[in-house]
Amino acid sequence: MDFIILDSFSHLTTAHKGMIVVCGSHGGISAAKHALSFAPRAIFCSDGGKGKDDAGIQGLWLLDAKNIPASAVSVQSARIGDGKDVYENGLISFVNKTAQSLGIATGMRVIDAVELVKNGKEIMALPLKVAGLGLYFPRKRETRDQFVKRGIPNEIIEDLGIYERRLIGEKESIIDMEVKASKAAIKNAGLQPSDIDLIMSATILPEMIGIPNSNQLQFLIGANKAAAFDLCQACGTLIPGMIIAANFIAAGQYERILLTASTNWSAISDSTQPSADFVLGDGAGAMVLTASKLGYGILSFDMQTNGKFYQNCGIRMGHDHTTKYYDKHNKKLLFFIDNKGIESSKSGFGRYLLTNGPNSFKASLRKARLTTEDIDCAVIHGNVKPVVRGWIKGMKVPSERFPLTFNQYGNLSVVTLLPNLKKGLKEGLIKKDSTVAFVSQGAGFSAGSIIMRWE
């Protein structure tokens, strides 16, 4: 049976778990809290005449926060306390956003809305499995003591939470790091480079402007059968990379995809700006992505962009932020972030940095019809302590479900998700059947998220 008709939410039992509930009760907070304990698929109830401060429908928004579609019917169309009348004659007067996403609208008959929920599309996963993971970090370390010797105040070190970082060697290149991470990922997947049929690379500073690192990587690792191209969405590039890979695999065009990430931040760190200097680390990572079994893979994803903050963070020539890299000059490439904009409530930039990831995550949750309680592990672009703290608060997932490595590697830009993923696997937060959230952001500015059922 898909749904149950009750006169009161107090009649709910464990036998009704996962059902569509049509009920004569009002939609207040107390009723919604009681109904939540039985994990309903959807709820239809009375609006109770709304009442003072809309008390008769406040529970709809509580249910919305848990991604449960909920609708209330007008007391003028159906008797309160009479579930059968609500079902047969109720006309919907209020709906929450989750119900709206299913096509339920005010004025609709409950009997029709129930059918809409019953016939709603099932969540079909995009096939994606992380078959192999590889990381490479340079041997050279810079520690907290060295930061202090360079004049970085202890307060800033503590505020940002970076206590160590890795620095690329004088004889190393960003391609060298990508090669080592890629070979490790392929080996861990039980494959040979010749088995790879597509390479997608994400890097902050490619070896040559406008020429993809992935082409050189293809040659150096011996993946002679693979096509290759680069991706660019700054620090957030792995999210669209995984989405593209899943769609290529679903379309049957590629079977084994190598997705790489690398950064040599230290080459462009600005010693005059602490938040653009000691926090930046070097390293590389790679994933071999293949098809997952039916029911596993990407359950939902979301991508958002706000170009308003395009000028607030990036890589420029020198300190004046006006010279273009293709102009004639002798200035050095430098990473920058608009700290004044972060501190200014008027600009909105600081608030955006703390909310864009959580907002994308909530959108993905809603699409997957899941709640924060369903998330076993959250793999995020946790680059500095204030952002990490803000995202944990905004995502409302228990903090112990966030594997984090920024304090030992620094801000690794596009690579950041991968050591966090490895830590989540090592600590047992991620195992077969786990529901995993990936959330990231990139300068420009964009944010993205993926909800994945792990195989």
What is the three-class DSSP state of 259?
A: strand
Instruction: Kindly state whether residues 148 and 287 are assigned to the same domain.
Output: yes
Instruction: Kindly state whether residues 314 and 398 are assigned to the same domain.
Output: yes
In a domain, 337, yes or no: yes
d(CA 141, CA 160): 18
Percent of the chain with pLDDT over 90: 69
Q: Say what the pLDDT of residue 330 is.
A: 73
Residues forming a β-bridge with 264 = 282
Instruction: Kindly state whether residues 294 and 346 are assigned to the same domain.
Output: yes
Instruction: Kindly state whether residues 113 and 151 are assigned to the same domain.
Output: no
In a domain, 124, yes or no: no
Number of residues in the chain:
455
Instruction: Kindly state whether residues 380 and 304 are assigned to the same domain.
Output: yes
What is the three-class DSSP state of 442?
A: strand
Q: Say what the pLDDT of residue 93 is.
A: 96
d(CA 399, CA 69): 27
Res. 286: pLDDT tops 80: yes
Lowest mean pLDDT among 197-211, 219-233, 345-359, 438-452: 345-359
In a domain, 83, yes or no: yes
Res. 8: pLDDT tops 70: yes
Range of the domain at 80: 3-118
The domain that holds 217 is classified in CATH as: 3.40.47.10
User: What are the DSSP E strand ranges found in 216-322?
Assistant: 227-231, 257-264, 282-290, 297-305, 313-317
Q: Per-residue pLDDT tens for 368-410?
A: 878 898 899 999 998 899 999 999 999 999 999 999 999 999 9
Percent of the chain with pLDDT over 70: 95
Q: Last residue of some domain: 65, 97, 118?
A: 118
In a domain, 123, yes or no: no
What is the three-class DSSP state of 425?
A: helix
Instruction: Kindly state whether residues 167 and 307 are assigned to the same domain.
Output: yes
d(CA 404, CA 400): 10
Res. 44: pLDDT tops 80: yes
Q: Which residue has the higher pLDDT, 183 or 232?
A: 183
Res. 42: pLDDT tops 80: yes
Instruction: Kindly state whether residues 101 and 188 are assigned to the same domain.
Output: no
Residues forming a β-bridge with 313 = 337
Q: What is the 3-state secondary structure (H, E, C) of 42-89?
A: EEEEECCCCCHHHCCCCHHHHHHHCCCCEEEECCCCCCCCCHHHHHHH
What is the three-class DSSP state of 303?
A: strand
Instruction: Kindly state whether residues 253 and 312 are assigned to the same domain.
Output: yes
Q: Give the pair of three-digit tokens for residue 364.
A: 């993905």
Instruction: Kindly state whether residues 145 and 63 are assigned to the same domain.
Output: no
In a domain, 361, yes or no: yes
d(CA 361, CA 47): 30
In a domain, 350, yes or no: yes
Instruction: Kindly state whether residues 203 and 159 are assigned to the same domain.
Output: yes
Alpha helices in 189-313 (DSSP H): 213-221, 238-250
In a domain, 45, yes or no: yes
Res. 115: pLDDT tops 90: no
Q: Per-residue pLDDT tens for 63-100?
A: 988 878 999 999 999 999 999 999 999 999 999 988 88
In a domain, 25, yes or no: yes
Pairing, β 20-26 against β 3-6: parallel
What is the three-class DSSP state of 417?
A: helix
Confidence of residue 119 (pLDDT cuts 50, 70, 90): confident
User: What are the DSSP E strand ranges found in 282-332?
Assistant: 282-290, 297-305, 313-317
Q: Per-residue pLDDT tens for 154-195?
A: 999 999 999 999 999 989 999 999 999 999 999 999 999 999
Q: Say what the pLDDT of residue 320 is.
A: 67
Q: Last residue of some domain: 64, 90, 118?
A: 118
- Look at the alpha carbons of 61, 66, 71, 72 in this order and tell me if their dihedral is positive or negative: negative
Instruction: Kindly state whether residues 385 and 272 are assigned to the same domain.
Output: yes
CB 248, CB 128: distance < 8 Å: no
Confidence of residue 327 (pLDDT cuts 50, 70, 90): confident
Average pLDDT over residues 129-136: 98
Number of domains in the chain: 2
Confidence of residue 18 (pLDDT cuts 50, 70, 90): confident
d(CA 15, CA 187): 48
Q: Last residue of some domain: 90, 118, 146?
A: 118
Instruction: Kindly state whether residues 391 and 268 are assigned to the same domain.
Output: yes
Residues forming a β-bridge with 133 = 287
Q: Which residues of 248-259 are buried (b: 16+ CB within 10 A; e: fewer)?
A: bbbeeebebbbb
Q: Say what the pLDDT of residue 389 is.
A: 95
Q: Say what the pLDDT of residue 418 is.
A: 98
